[in-house]
Amino acid sequence: MVYKMVSEVSMLKAILFSSLFVLVACTDTGDDAGLQGNHVWKSQTDMLDKARDVEGLLMDGNQRQRQTIDEQAR
């Protein structure tokens, strides 16, 4: 009976430590050099950033044009 309890506790410890090991081994180190520096998709992400900037400029111009039209309509 005592042997069975010791065996279950040992098994539980083994599962706990192996789970902890896997968790620590698979944890991200926080090194985002691939996302911040040169990476495979850098040219594509740069183009997306430029497209977002152009979209913002177009939206601003559209808003100004609408305001001008609204002012002239009064």
Contacts of 39 (CB under 8 A, 6+ apart): 45
Task: Write down the pTM of the prediction.
Answer: 0.45
Residue 1 above 60 pLDDT? Answer: no
Q: What is the pLDDT of residues 24-35, one digit of tens each?
A: 777 666 655 555
Lookup: tokens for 61: 């111009």
Residue 18 above 70 pLDDT? Answer: yes
- For residue 38, the model assigns a pLDDT of 80
Contacts of 33 (CB under 8 A, 6+ apart): none
Q: What is the pLDDT of residues 26-66, one digit of tens each?
A: 766 665 555 566 888 899 999 999 999 999 999 999 999 99
Distance (Å) of CA 31 to CA 34, 35, 44: 8, 9, 21
Single-letter residue type at 22: V
Q: What whole-number distance in Å separates Cα of residue 11 and Cα of residue 61? A: 68
